[in-house]
Each structure stands twice: as C-alpha cells, then as structure tokens.
C-alpha cells in the first residue's frame, strides 16, 4: 500500500482540527450578548413646558427693585440614568422684559429630577392614596435684552423640593384619568448675571398633575416669589 494514501487522511483530519479552533461559534439570538444593542424606550421621556412669571430685580446694583417679566417655552428630552434619577436637557425661547422692553432669545440647559419617596397611605383599593417626595435641580443658560440694543448673559440656577399626594385610580376602566396628584413645596431660583440681581431667591409652588394615561402627564402650577407666576407642562414617559 502506498504510504502517502495512509497519511493523507491523517493530514486532512489534523488540518480540520487545527482550523476548527479558529471557527467562531454560532451567533447569539439575545441582544444582551452584543456590545451595541437596542435600548428599551422606557428609559426615555420628552415634553414641553411654558411659564410666565414676574419677579422683583435690581439692575446694575441699583437699590430700587423693578419688575422683570419672564415668559419661556421650552422642550426637553430626558433619560433615566438609574431608576430614580432622570437627567435631561432642555432648549427653547425665553423673553425677559423690564419696562416693557425685551425680545425672545434662545435658552438651553440641563438638569436632573430625583424621585426620593413613594409611600402608600392606605391598603390597596379602588382609589388608593400615595405620598411622593421629589427634588429637581436645573441650570439654564440665557441672555437678557437690556432695552438698549445690547444682550447680556443671564443664567438661572433653579431647584425644588416637592411633596405630592396622588389619588391613584389606575386599573378601573370606569374612571379616567389614571390618577390625579396635588403638590406643593419650596423652590429656589438664583439669577446669575453681572447686572441683574433678584430680590428673593426662595419661593413656593403649588399645583396639580393629571396622569392622562400610563405615558402622558399634564401639569399645571403656580409659583410665588415676590409676585405670582404660572406654568404648564406636558410630559410623555415611554
């Protein structure tokens, strides 16, 4: 027998064995097994926000406060960094007026909301009540039209600590909306500018939130610093 025919199968098998060690395994069907995979939309949120407020401010370190009217319309996109912290960016238009002057200017910022407590007040029932505590911190970059054709930087550092009482009727199809919440709490707003100083940095907000569905929430509130203000927000949580 020709020895080359004896060694040929051995050589082929040896080659296949060595090559097999370099062949990748079959593809995984689970998205978690991939470096880049589709992320769940439940971590994302978006919404719009409109506000009108009047505050007493001092211009150029003048000892006499004047009223500054502020209106803003902003949109935001949020992402849940972890289950109880929502980080977001915001962008829109803001108008600050003193003596009736002023024009709408672009404003943008970033912030975070912290969901601190969710406590059930009574046994589960058709209309169970819950107490919730949350806090928000936000920094907004903006400009101020001083009425003389010049625009100056005017930023704002804003914070809040809110207690809500939620009347939850979710699960009963005879009732709409899903839940209603009333809330109140202290707010903080510091204007950061070379020529504008607020008369008071601490205020109060009260309002109501209507949970129209599992994903859509409508909020309406009042703010009180030196003068009254109001706001409205529509949020979508995926």
Mean per-residue pLDDT over the chain, rounded:
81
* Domains of the chain: total: 1
**Spatial distance between the Cα atoms of 99 and 42, rounded to a whole number of angstroms:** 46
**Spatial distance between the Cα atoms of 212 and 218, rounded to a whole number of angstroms:** 7
- Mean pLDDT over 131-157 rounds to 85
Q: Mind listing the pLDDT tens digit for each residue in 91-116? A: 999 988 877 667 788 999 999 999 99
CATH number for the domain harbouring residue 84: 2.40.160
Question: Does pLDDT of 170 surpass 90?
Answer: no
Q: What's the token pair of residue 175?
A: 């009732």
Whether 127 is covered by a domain: the verdict is yes
Whether 159 is covered by a domain: the verdict is yes
Whether 77 is covered by a domain: the verdict is yes
Whether 4 is covered by a domain: the verdict is no
Whether 164 is covered by a domain: the verdict is yes
**Spatial distance between the Cα atoms of 146 and 149, rounded to a whole number of angstroms:** 7
Whether 163 is covered by a domain: the verdict is yes
Q: Mind listing the pLDDT tens digit for each residue in 10-63? A: 555 454 445 444 445 444 344 455 555 555 667 899 999 999 999 988 887 777
**Spatial distance between the Cα atoms of 151 and 149, rounded to a whole number of angstroms:** 7
- Our measurement of the distance from residue 233's CA atom to the centroid of its chain's CA atoms, rounded to an integer in Å, reads 11
Q: Mind listing the pLDDT tens digit for each residue in 188-214? A: 999 998 888 888 899 999 999 999 988
Q: Would you state the torsion angle of the CA atoms of residues 187, 205, 164, 93, taken in this order, to the nearest 10 degrees?
A: -80
Rg (CA), the chain: 29
**Spatial distance between the Cα atoms of 172 and 215, rounded to a whole number of angstroms:** 17
Identify the pLDDT of residue 11.
Answer: 53
Identify the pLDDT of residue 148.
Answer: 61
Percent above pLDDT 70 for the chain? 73
Whether 24 is covered by a domain: the verdict is no
- Of 138 and 200, the structure prediction assigns the larger pLDDT to 138
CB 47 within 8 A of CB 212: no
**Spatial distance between the Cα atoms of 46 and 206, rounded to a whole number of angstroms:** 22
**Spatial distance between the Cα atoms of 205 and 183, rounded to a whole number of angstroms:** 8
Whether 10 is covered by a domain: the verdict is no
Q: What range defines the domain where residue 212 resides?
A: 43-237
Nearest Cα to 219, choosing from 112, 52, 211?
211
- Mean pLDDT over 208-237 rounds to 92
């Amino acid at each position: 027998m020709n020895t080359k025919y004896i060694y040929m199968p051995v050589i082929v098998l040896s080659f296949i064995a060595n090559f097999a060690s370099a062949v990748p395994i079959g593809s995984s069907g689970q998205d978690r097994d991939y470096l880049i995979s589709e992320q769940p939309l439940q971590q994302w949120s978006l919404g719009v926000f409109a506000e009108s407020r009047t505050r007493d401010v001092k211009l150029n370190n003048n000892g006499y406060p004047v009223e500054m009217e502020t209106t803003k319309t902003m949109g935001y996109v949020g992402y849940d960094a972890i289950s109880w912290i929502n980080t977001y960016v915001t962008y829109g238009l803001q108008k600050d007026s003193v003596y009736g002057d002023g024009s709408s200017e672009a404003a943008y910022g970033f912030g975070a909301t912290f969901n601190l407590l969710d406590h059930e007040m009574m046994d589960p029932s058709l209309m169970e009540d819950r107490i919730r505590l949350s806090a928000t911190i936000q920094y907004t970059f903006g400009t101020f039209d001083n009425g003389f054709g010049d625009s100056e930087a005017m930023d704002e550092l804003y914070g809040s600590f809110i207690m809500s009482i939620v009347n939850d009727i979710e699960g009963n199809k005879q009732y709409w909306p899903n839940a209603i919440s009333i809330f109140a709490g202290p707010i903080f707003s510091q204007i950061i500018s070379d020529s504008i100083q607020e008369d008071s940095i601490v205020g109060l907000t009260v309002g109501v939130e209507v949970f129209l569905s599992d994903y859509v929430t409508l909020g309406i509130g009042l703010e009180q610093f030196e003068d009254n203000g109001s706001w409205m927000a529509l949020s979508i949580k995926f």
